[in-house]
A = this chain, B = another copy of it.
Amino acid sequence: MPSSTFASLDPLFRPRSVAVAGVSSRVDPSGSGGGLGFLRAIREMGFPTLHECRHGCTSGDCATGCLYPVNPKADEIDGLRCYPSLTAIPGDVDYVISSVPAVAVPGLLEEAAAKQVRAVHLFTAGFSETGEEDRADLERQILERARAAGIRLIGPNCMGLYVPAAGLSFMAGFPTEPGTVGMLSQSGANAGELVRFAGARGVRFSKVISYGNAADLNESELLEYLGDDPETEVVLAYIEGVRDGRRFAAALRRAAARKPVVILKGGRTEAGSRAARSHTGSLAGSIEVFDALCRQAGALRVASMDELVDLAVGFRFVPPPRGAGVAVVGAGGGVSVLAADAFAAEGLELPPMPEDVQAAFRAFVPIAGTSVRNPIDTTSVFRPEEFVRTIELAARPASIAALVYHTSFSWGSRSAGDQDQRAADLARNLATARNRIGKPLLISVHPSLSGEGLVTTGQFVERCVAEGFAIFDGIDGAARALAGVRRWQQTRVDRGLA
């Protein structure tokens, strides 16, 4: 049964109309957007503007929803009619994005109260995170006023919402189509990086919430929300501080019992903890306590953005393997040794191929310069007619629960055209092989350095993503993703949940 948190927050993330207050007509020097950035990002998502209202109304008072720039010094911004204040907007306003200076926020809140706004996202920074008492006071006053008016606050000092199904976004270039991965993040840039990097590997999102100083909406409530959200199947988090350890622990247990939860904890060291205090005013707490919480709940903690992206790809695209045995397939002796080390270091196993499978390999794999034990290091992966057979044979033993194929497009003396053809053939052959083996098949493509290699690698990634593959930048990423999925599944089995 959904919690009361879910019922109370869900409408906030689906506003019919949005006002952006403090939109200037130029982008600031950091290029991060500010008010204008939000306006443009939201239009890019297809959120209807007043001009585009399908009902032809001009009041903004219709169910389609509208997007309103607010700036007393402009009549029009980016071709949209601009309003001098929230109260000057003719129709209802559900959601306000504040890009005004901190001192102007109390006034904005009064207008929001008058308009019966549901939620205000404070992109505005310069509050408790500065460490200055008067600014922390201002944050407390704003919170009190918002509570009195029944307005929920997101932030301050954050990027707010990316909810593609509701047409909301906070950065240009995010995917417009919705998906099943949700994220709460105390850093907007980290959330943006996750969306872009995981997005390039096929991950799509239900809700991504950048919540900054967490004056009102905080990590516990957002975790309760995403844990209960039926549109969210995987929960990611970048968290710097936890305000209410007991509530957070309960939310984590509840969420992780239902879906994979992967957390990047910022401030895991003393220096990082000090940085977190300057960033969002967070008290980072002990990483040992945090790890214990994660262990008890069955959530996974990672140590870098790269790992968070890899786990997102893993949980989205890798079906849980039915064992710890992995077959590693590709060409190259040294890379095979390092691949074996990487999987074993993550607690997975590389069972040797049985004698009969080795013999079957030897029917078409020469003995010199190859190995058919496991890792399977064989040039047969370069011969299209033998590629599918190689994967099939490697998948045959009962001891093998998952496979990893590794490749790259930077070696050798092939022409660019040959490489493109190889990339296309490979993606098709991989899909054929996967359909035959009925076991998870992960792909690792080592980054290329040459210009053509980069282009080919990009095309290969796109083709593999289109085929629904989990694809990784290298063996280490594939290993930690598979290990994460395996660990999650084992925890569920251990707890009688699966």
Q: Is the CB of A130 within 8 A of B192?
A: no
Partner of A196 from the list B305, B338, B342, B410 (CB cut-off 8 Å) is B410
Q: Mark A183-221, 1 if CB is under 8 A from B, else 0.
A: 001111110110011001000000000000000000000
A48 is an interface residue with CB less than 8 A from chain B? no
Which chain A residues in 318-345 approach chain B with CB under 8 Å? 331-345
Q: Is the CB of A345 within 8 A of B268?
A: yes
Partner of A344 from the list B135, B192, B272 (CB cut-off 8 Å) is B272
Partner of A274 from the list B33, B193, B352, B366 (CB cut-off 8 Å) is B352
Instruction: Choose among A125, A129, A272 the residue with the greatest number of B CB atoms under 10 Å from its CB.
Output: A272
A1 is an interface residue with CB less than 8 A from chain B? no
Partner of A271 from the list B187, B340, B368 (CB cut-off 8 Å) is B340
Which chain A residues in 220-277 approach chain B with CB under 8 Å? 238, 240, 264, 266-272, 274-276
- Contact status of A382 and B335, CB under 8 A, knowing A275-B375, A371-B275: no
Q: Is the CB of B126 within 8 A of A340?
A: no
A492 is an interface residue with CB less than 8 A from chain B? no
Which chain A residues in 147-190 approach chain B with CB under 8 Å? 157, 171-173, 185-190
A369 is an interface residue with CB less than 8 A from chain B? yes
Instruction: Name the B residues within 8 Å of A293 (CB-CB).
Output: none
A495 is an interface residue with CB less than 8 A from chain B? no
How close is A325's CB to chain B, nearest CB, in angstroms? 10
A311 is an interface residue with CB less than 8 A from chain B? no
Q: Is the CB of A31 within 8 A of B382?
A: yes
With the chains together, A377 CA to B188 CA distance in Å? 14
Instruction: Name the B residues within 8 Å of A189 (CB-CB).
Output: 332-335, 411
A30 is an interface residue with CB less than 8 A from chain B? yes
- Contact status of A338 and B373, CB under 8 A, knowing A367-B130, A368-B125: no
Instruction: Name the B residues within 8 Å of A274 (CB-CB).
Output: 340, 350, 352, 373
Q: Which residue of B lies closest to A268 (CB)?
A: B341
Partner of A411 from the list B132, B192, B342, B449 (CB cut-off 8 Å) is B192
Q: Is the CB of A413 within 8 A of B27?
A: yes
A80 is an interface residue with CB less than 8 A from chain B? no
A424 is an interface residue with CB less than 8 A from chain B? no
Q: Is the CB of A449 within 8 A of B200?
A: yes
A32 is an interface residue with CB less than 8 A from chain B? yes
Instruction: Name the B residues within 8 Å of A446 (CB-CB).
Output: 193
Q: List 20 A-B contacts (CB under 8 A).
A: A28-B379, A29-B379, A29-B382, A30-B331, A30-B412, A32-B412, A102-B368, A135-B367, A173-B450, A186-B334, A187-B337, A196-B410, A196-B449, A266-B338, A266-B341, A268-B341, A275-B373, A278-B333, A279-B334, A306-B476
Interface residues of A (CB under 8 A from B): 27-33, 37, 40, 101-102, 124-126, 129-130, 132, 135, 157, 171-173, 185-190, 192-193, 196-197, 200, 238, 240, 264, 266-272, 274-276, 278-280, 303-306, 331-345, 349-350, 352, 366-369, 371, 373, 375, 377, 379, 382-383, 410-414, 446, 449-450, 454, 474, 476
